[in-house]
Structure 1
């Protein structure tokens, strides 16, 4: 029997815990109860639709292809004649889903948007390892689908590689299992790949150099991180310009799965800060140890100074397979993942349901804020993507080889949205609304953005460009946020304000393509409008 004192303590603990959770920032929303596929790869298009993509060799999904559009593949180990969709197009505002046709296996592939808004998708497993695919987005009322390029293919098979758009609008494809090289799309100097010895040097017995973290710096070179090391890479001359200090805390890339972002570029764009967070203990993958504690450490480094060092700090939770999402404000959302194990099928436990906000301008030791927890475990093969309305779309999680719905951590078909604190209703009166801006902006040019705000503007309204990355395996390929030089907001009548902005100086700061343009007033972002930077 429970004593009255114990019962009272139990009630007080319950009330305290409930109140604490209710007071944590952020809210959750179920967008789609069944997307039909578990999204291993996710990307947001300029038409405010979302491409969800899984592998093809998993057998039946929960979404059929359109009648007459079945895939016939004699080499498929599960379904030779496959009438199920393995990719869908989602309208987040309505929840509508449309099946897409993908022909070759996209398991652990890579992607990047091209300057014209086309999604380039490369590699995979099996018959997809050398394939190049394109998805040209269209409005929700039209019909668009995947296209497999027949006339060109990758020089090296690419499985677990990383894509990054370059200043000239081409794409570099880095690494992959058994591919210690880089290549380009379109191919440079004819077809072929270029050996990249750094990927040989960082390969260990569990191949912790897969899905390398690749960031284009505003000096035009690449910051490439693999395992626990990083280099400054001149891809034009295939030359390593700098070896950065080793990051303490063990391996950070697949399968030991931390995550990484480049913080917002601002000012004169003469500096770039890289953050790498989380990861698994070395050996957890080899030993198939799902109980091995995840790392909670983060390293932060100034990539463009002469003698950079890693500044270390700890997250509130150890985390593997977390996704780091650049928010329109310049803060970073860390979400999804687990507190033990490693990447791989059946290899993680103790899901980390608590998102964390990383506030880069706060002193070290005070940068992390714990947010309102979700209720859906998002582990292996989950994704997180910024939406134009400021929410973060959360998809996927399939820690099993096939779709499995009766497991402790089932295959996840639900799509959720997490709303940061800046979307609280009480902040609506300071949330700007963009009413005027050009559809295209040219490098180094001036242009105006007109916004309306319910309450008078106090101070500077930021205007920030956010890319639409390709999110997969705890890293968002091509993710960047650029804060533009702006004038003070000038009243323009009827509650509107005119802000004069200067576009990025060149493609090293922001490669050509479509960006979400946000106006941010006192930490509260507008709904973004898409602009093309040319």
Structure 2
């Protein structure tokens, strides 16, 4: 069954289009027909707003900056006086768009939230190569905007790098084009060579946007091309090498994706999944029709004798985004079945999302979901929203905005609702009525929930991070399942759940998390918790 084939029915609900295919789970909703920009980078803030970013040197967008707010750049080859927005704030509650002003080029940059909820944004192209920026989010009606730091810059220029917050709240910035090094924010003794990145670089690169996961022992799992290492960020040394992953290169420009499965129990075990990718040579040959592969590797990164367990997705897929859901399952969405990353280098859009169910045996882990109708190719994103939906944005496989093409620049923002938000699950959906705003490591605290029907079993309380999504990888993505006691009735349909916060910053780095109550696989709307030491 080809991903582009879909039998769709269309209904209207609250002036938003809902797309369904009766025999497949999940629904699609058009939120905004014109966001003004095509989002290359997307992040959800603790105020339930969404920050979207594109390049600054892309020429006119479809959203103007406020009157009198223009970017003057004599070196810009397209617009030396640019009065168009290249970043916006989106409010999913009202579907309103507010333009933001960013000055330096964020093309293929990286990002991560700091412990205080500020979005750190690093690198890019041209005048953004060494730039560090911050966005301190505010309520939807506020006036917060980007701030470009002038008193500090990156030690190495970073283009196609990856960021990860560390247990102490600092951020490591890894790799990039011609940057086989790591460095830190706040700065820590400049850039440090990471020879591994140079060793795995092939003739078409394939070491860019490395996959970076903080393990619960405090080490970093760094994956590039088809290999991975365990990195000690305190000594800046490789602690071990993992066996290669079969199936060819998986990183930019070969466009697979990766996620660390939910941490739970005693938090001593971390499982990494790497899925999809382009055939080696597709990027060099500029081939748009070379079939992508659909193989996935899964490895227990904390095992003393780790090996890759292999399985196949229902479809070959490049540029798929892997989104951790509140339940611990993983949504694979967006992408194409042929070609590679890069401008106008992919074809055969893969419209079918997949649900990866970690607890199922090999061969039964993937479930095909209801297809969308909007191709999401190069420069598209997917992010979990606090209400459990997945925000889908972007797709611009062209150097500039191009609206008359087989796969045009995409300005629409959609939401995909997994099956757990279906009307048949409404009676199971819990509502968080009380939760602390701040929780300390190892602290026991209570969550008060109500459920329309009687609770069966234990209601989970799971913490989900807010990652920085770009180029088929969500930087800093994490889900932690808390230790809980059985729900205690508190009158009517209300229940008290006693939870224990994560023990330390290795399990969950400090910062803001979406706290979900999950009843029989159905998550609540999240409440934000500030996790501190």
State the TM-score, normalizing by the size of structure 1: 0.96
1:379 alignment partner, one of 377, 380, 405: 377
What is the aligned partner in structure 2 of residue 44 from structure 1?
44
2:337 alignment partner, one of 324, 339, 342: 339
Distance 1:17 1:395 in 2: 22
Distance 1:299 1:99 in 2: 40
What is the aligned partner in structure 2 of residue 56 from structure 1?
56
CA deviations 1:419-477 (Å, max 9, x no partner) are 00000012111100000010000000100000000100010000000000000000000
How far did residue 16 of structure 1 move? 12
Distance 1:489 1:222 in 2: 35
What is the aligned partner in structure 2 of residue 521 from structure 1?
519
What is the aligned partner in structure 2 of residue 23 from structure 1?
23
Distance 2:238 2:150 in 1: 34
Distance 1:328 1:355 in 2: 17
CA deviations 1:329-367 (Å, max 9, x no partner) are 000000000000000001000000000000000011000
What is the aligned partner in structure 2 of residue 472 from structure 1?
470
What is the aligned partner in structure 2 of residue 219 from structure 1?
217
1:364 alignment partner, one of 362, 365, 386: 362
Distance 2:173 2:42 in 1: 18
Unpaired stretches in structure 1, ≥5 consecutive residues: 1-12
Distance 1:395 1:295 in 2: 24
Distance 2:407 2:93 in 1: 28
How far did residue 494 of structure 1 move? 2.5
1:245 aligned onto 2:243: yes
**CA 1:355–1:422: 2 relative to 1, 3 Å:** same
Distance 1:14 1:473 in 2: 26
Distance 1:238 1:114 in 2: 21
Distance 1:472 1:226 in 2: 16
Distance 1:343 1:426 in 2: 39
1:141-152 map, 5 Å? 141-152=141-152
1:51-200 map, 5 Å? 51-189=51-189, 192-200=190-198
What is the aligned partner in structure 1 of residue 271 from structure 2?
273
Distance 1:73 1:173 in 2: 27
What is the aligned partner in structure 1 of residue 13 from structure 2?
none
1:449 aligned onto 2:457: no
Given that residues 356 and 365 in structure 2 are in contact (C-alpha distance below 8 angstroms), is that contact kept between their aligned partners in structure 1? yes
**CA 1:287–1:468: 2 relative to 1, 3 Å:** same
1:244-323 map, 5 Å? 244-323=242-321
Given that residues 7 and 21 in structure 2 are in contact (C-alpha distance below 8 angstroms), is that contact kept between their aligned partners in structure 1? no
CA deviations 1:185-217 (Å, max 9, x no partner) are 00114xx10000000101111110000000000
Q: Which runs of 4+ in 1 moved over 6 A?
A: 13-18
Given that residues 55 and 105 in structure 2 are in contact (C-alpha distance below 8 angstroms), is that contact kept between their aligned partners in structure 1? yes
CA deviations 1:8-28 (Å, max 9, x no partner) are xxxxx999999x942100000
Larger radius of gyration: 1
Distance 1:69 1:104 in 2: 15
Distance 1:14 1:288 in 2: 28
State the TM-score, normalizing by the size of structure 2: 0.96
Equivalenced residue count is 520
CA deviations 1:29-88 (Å, max 9, x no partner) are 000000000000000000000000000011000000011110000111100000000000
Other structure's SS at 1:278 match: strand
Other structure's SS at 1:428 match: helix
**CA 1:219–1:67: 2 relative to 1, 3 Å:** same
